[in-house]
Structure 1
Amino acid sequence: MDLAALRTAVSGSVLAAEDQGWDAARNSHAGLGRPDVIVRVDSLDDVSEAVRFAAAGHREVVVRAGGHSAWCTLDDGVLVDLTALDSVEVVEDPDGGALVRIGGGARWGDVARVLSDRGLGISSGDTASVGVGGLTLGGGIGLMVRAWGLAADQLVGAQLVTAQGEVVEVTDASHPDLLWALRGGGGNFGIVTRFDFRAHDLSGVVLAELGVSGNARPILAALRDVLADAPRELTVTFMDVPAMDPNAPAGASIVAVWAGSDEEALRAALAPLLTVEGVVLNDLAARVYPDILLDHPVPEPEQQMPGFLGGNTLLPELDDDAIDALVSFRESTPASVLLLRSLGGAFGDVPQDATPFPARNATWFAMAGAFDIPGLVDDAQRARLEEAWAAIEARGAGVYGNFSTTTDPAFAERMYPAGTMARLAAVKATWDPRNVFARNHNVVPA
């Protein structure tokens, strides 16, 4: 592979396996990837050159922003690292309010800090180091999902490098079908080098942390009932994790986030939950939004991710049977995790066909899985867990690609309804007919 011309054309760095800094450049949350070449871009032109190089050699393009694809190392192909494209610019929206133009390599913690200083916010991921690009293109279920919807719901424009290396400005006026596809259709259509979001006024947030003990079933039922009529400023997350990570205390907990600075409003909304046995309020205080984002540093290269037996689903109804199935799954295996996040509110206001994201009728997002650790899980247990999860997923109306644990290309068929997939495939055929951008939950060109 002759990299001389690419190195001449690119202002950033081009790395191959024999180059200094290779291991650091290929490390991610999933471990050490094995790409053919890494292009650490410094400019928009660099992105175009990298895509043209890949297309000319019939190589696939792999894109990195935050690097949080925890079950998928970046192997083979041309890895385009957008890290340096991390600008965050706030401008006046002609329709009123503020627009935020964010580079494709930016991460949500940096974005939140810039916006917080201006009294603004965007519903983002939970973790500071998560990339803006991957989260948004997959939809983006964040801590403000009931207040403002998905990250993708706040997307009003984008700058995109196509499979031919050309630069396109994407808006509802210029390329409505392409912008529709970017609001949840994944990285199938090009490399987004800039995202344009409509921001929201945000004076601050209130965070409540609740301890949970005993049988989780009545607690989750009470949490469901509270959220059925709660103001949309409230989004809650239930988490039950094993004693595996020293950075994450073992056991069950509830985190409630209020979009705004009204502590008494959050206290009032949670009051019915605090009457339930096993629930205790540990903390409730006003914060600035950047301070509530989690921080998960990249693991050491030799720390490989374990297998994961389970998945996620978008539940139209969290009824008692669904609660029992989820809690039973967690109880059946010590090395397992259970997560639920409330939906509804602004998430449910968006018409189903307005974005590719599935299941706008969902009221809860649920994820459960057992860690497939050699010596702890045998074949019989794997079969039992896979069967149990399949029954849980069948209760849902769709799955969330950003929390998927498989790299199987066929998984995309489970993410989108047939009509949505057909529309995505038509957009793909227009913008990437050779399927250069196939290293994702792939939509095959129509």
Structure 2
Amino acid sequence: MTDLSLQNLPAGTVVQPGDDEWDAARAFHSGIGEPTVIVRAGTVDDVRSALRYAAAERLEVMVRGGGHSAWGAVPGGLTLDLAALDDVRVDGTLVHVGGGATWGAVAHELSEHGLGISSGDTASVGVGGLTLGGGIGWMVRAWGLAADQLVGAQLVTARGDVIEVIETAHPDLLWALRGGGGNFGVVTRFDFRAHPLTSVVFATLGAGDDARRLLRVLRDTMAQAPRELTVTYMHVPPMDPNAPAGATVTACWIGDDEDAARAALAPILAVDGVTETEFGVRSYPDILMDMPAADPDQPMPGFVGGNTLLRDLTDDAIERLVTFRESNAASVLFLRSLGGAFGDVPQDATPFPGRGATWFAMAGAFDVPGLVDDDTRPAIQASWDAIEALGDGLYGNFTASTDAGLVSRMYPPETMARLAAIKRQYDPRNLFCRNHNVAPA
């Protein structure tokens, strides 16, 4: 290796093909990567050196935190692994989180202080990717997105400069980081404003057989529900032993008032066929899911479908979603309630789309031979496209696609134009393009 910016890094920081640690280093949570080189940064200076090297060698950069992104599978480039930058420091309700931390570790640390941040559903998901993409979590109706709780950041630019991003310095960049993705630099520290949280009431309900009726009741219930309550609906096929087949409703209530949670959920509990699997007080870290790492010998099949942010869960939308699930044996349907604090944020206050949405919906058929083929795939996609057209935008964090065209469906034109102008200022050569990429204006 001839470049001094990598030569001077500590031993073990740089991993290349042929090194003993190569196979372990290139495995990420969702698969196996094939980068040109991997830099496992232990300090901010390591990040600076890696970016200067990548710029000099014209290597695209893929930033890895939790490693759930599909972009890790794109061949070539420099993978910048931030896993070692995982410190969590609490200062009152201000929480400083390293760019490589995962939400499970953060939730456990905050629970010791009686605090919480609305994160994702999975413990191993990275703070960085989820936050920069917006971050819909269990407290979305009470506290908004993970990005809405972001008040500052430390960022390394494509040129290797370290800047502190706050409202009074680089306000446009802070705006872009609240949902504009990893387009603008490497965030080595996130600063969040946390909320008091000692426990939650968590419920898992068997959803019965009448999906249409249940979804109408869910919609009507959540339209009047306290903001402490967020619910999901999921219907999965008998494919994955880690996810029991069938339909379930899951609910999270902020706090330990089980009676209040039960009262809010009463209309749902009264639906014929709904049964209680779990209903009780738990700590927030304990409700985050564990997701097994990808098995390279059994890769996940393709996915024909997508997601959208629905302003209203109309009867027509319910019919289309349920019909999609019923028409495709190996398919999944997922919905999460929004509104509340999520909708309080003005649309132009962050890049995240669809602030008027009251539901997030995702559906897709697994591209399994014998069930989906070249003749049926276009019709399945057309069925989903008709559902997506009902919504106000696409949530980038909830797609495994690396299709460059998706970004145009994520942001309205005026938001894209503003993001592109900020991109031009901080990354004019588009070093950070291994993401839902906003090209420099």
TM-score > 0.5, shorter chain as reference: yes
> Displacement of 1:263 after TM fit?
0.6
Amino acid at match of 1:23: D
Partner of 1:242: 237
Q: 1:397 aligns with which of 389, 392, 395?
A: 392
Aligned residues of 2:110 and 2:116 also touching (Cα < 8 A): yes
Partner of 1:47: 47
Amino acid at match of 1:374: P
Alpha-carbon distance in structure 1 between the residues aligned to 2:215 and 2:328: 19
Moved more, 11-20 or 389-398: 11-20
Helix, strand or coil at the partner of 2:104: helix
1:385 aligns with 2:377: no
Aligned residues of 2:329 and 2:371 also touching (Cα < 8 A): no
Partner of 2:32: 32
Amino acid at match of 1:62: M
Amino acid at match of 1:81: D
> Displacement of 1:135 after TM fit?
0.1
| Runs of 5+ consecutive residues of structure 2 not aligned to the other structure | none
Partner of 1:95: none
Amino acid at match of 2:194: A
Alpha-carbon distance in structure 2 between the residues aligned to 1:384 and 1:110: 42
Alpha-carbon distance in structure 2 between the residues aligned to 1:89 and 1:244: 41
1:325 aligns with 2:320: yes
Helix, strand or coil at the partner of 1:328: helix
Aligned residues of 1:11 and 1:46 also touching (Cα < 8 A): no
> Displacement of 1:40 after TM fit?
0.5
Alpha-carbon distance in structure 2 between the residues aligned to 1:168 and 1:5: 20
Alpha-carbon distance in structure 1 between the residues aligned to 2:216 and 2:227: 19
Aligned residues of 1:28 and 1:67 also touching (Cα < 8 A): yes
Helix, strand or coil at the partner of 1:310: strand
Q: 1:277 aligns with which of 272, 295, 302?
A: 272
Alpha-carbon distance in structure 2 between the residues aligned to 1:200 and 1:5: 41
Alpha-carbon distance in structure 2 between the residues aligned to 1:397 and 1:31: 31
Equivalent runs, 1:64-79 vs 2, <5 Å: 64-70=64-70, 73-79=73-79
CA deviation string 1:180-222 (max 9, x = no partner): 0000000000000000000000121000111012120000000
> Displacement of 1:259 after TM fit?
1.1
Aligned residues of 1:12 and 1:46 also touching (Cα < 8 A): no
Partner of 1:19: 19
Amino acid at match of 2:76: D
> Displacement of 1:7 after TM fit?
3.1
Partner of 1:155: 150
Q: 1:215 aligns with which of 210, 214, 220?
A: 210
> Displacement of 1:376 after TM fit?
2.3
Partner of 1:227: 222
Aligned residues of 1:219 and 1:278 also touching (Cα < 8 A): no
Helix, strand or coil at the partner of 1:385: helix
Moved more, 401-410 or 78-87: 401-410
1:203 aligns with 2:160: no
Equivalent runs, 1:258-407 vs 2, <5 Å: 258-407=253-402
1:437 aligns with 2:435: no
Alpha-carbon distance in structure 1 between the residues aligned to 2:75 and 2:127: 22
Helix, strand or coil at the partner of 1:180: helix
> Displacement of 1:12 after TM fit?
5.3
Q: 1:252 aligns with which of 247, 256, 276?
A: 247
> Displacement of 1:61 after TM fit?
0.7
Alpha-carbon distance in structure 2 between the residues aligned to 1:43 and 1:303: 35
Helix, strand or coil at the partner of 1:59: coil
> Displacement of 1:432 after TM fit?
0.5
CA deviation string 1:336-357 (max 9, x = no partner): 1000000001100001000000
1:102 aligns with 2:102: no
Alpha-carbon distance in structure 2 between the residues aligned to 1:392 and 1:381: 17
Amino acid at match of 1:121: G
Aligned-CA RMSD value: 1.2
CA deviation string 1:164-187 (max 9, x = no partner): 011000001111000000000000
Alpha-carbon distance in structure 1 between the residues aligned to 2:125 and 2:340: 24
Alpha-carbon distance in structure 2 between the residues aligned to 1:136 and 1:5: 29
Helix, strand or coil at the partner of 1:228: helix
Alpha-carbon distance in structure 1 between the residues aligned to 2:285 and 2:353: 28
CA deviation string 1:343-398 (max 9, x = no partner): 00110000100000001000000000001122321112101101100000000010
> Displacement of 1:102 after TM fit?
0.2
CA deviation string 1:208-262 (max 9, x = no partner): 1110121200000000000000000000010001111111111000000001111
Q: How many residue pairs align between the two structures?
A: 441
Helix, strand or coil at the partner of 1:48: helix
Amino acid at match of 1:302: D
Alpha-carbon distance in structure 2 between the residues aligned to 1:443 and 1:246: 38
| Runs of 5+ consecutive residues of structure 1 not aligned to the other structure | 93-97
Amino acid at match of 1:277: D
Aligned residues of 1:30 and 1:304 also touching (Cα < 8 A): no
